[in-house]
Amino acid sequence: MNAHTQALLVEMRDSAVAQLEAACQLDAAALDAATERRHAAAVALSAGVRPDPDAIREQVEEIRQLDIRLTRILKAGERTLSRVLITPQQTYDRTGRMTTGRA
């Protein structure tokens, strides 16, 4: 594997770590910036010479594990925010009965 490919893989891993940290802190701007950096590295990697899959297996697996953690954190954040921001509200329906619905 050449030095350029190695540098791009390191950038992808570092960007994935930055995405994970931003998601944990609910920092949308940092998450966007890290995602843009990661996308740029992925595009550069795909435009270059294809590395031997065996040579990059470890780095790819590390990035995959970071992606799994990122997905879990983003889903948990989404569930939590939707519960906090969209709470059931008690209201009266048109017949005068108390009902619970979404605000």
Do 74 and 34 form a contact (C-beta atoms < 8 A)? no
Which pLDDT value is given to residue 87? 66
pTM of the prediction? 0.78
Q: How far apart are CA 100 and CA 96, in angstroms?
A: 13
Share of the chain above pLDDT 90, in %: 65
Which pLDDT value is given to residue 68? 97
Which pLDDT value is given to residue 58? 95
Please check the confidence at residue 66 and state whether its pLDDT lies above 50.
Answer: yes
pLDDT-derived band of residue 103, with 50, 70 and 90 as boundaries?
A: very low
Three-state DSSP at 49 gives: coil
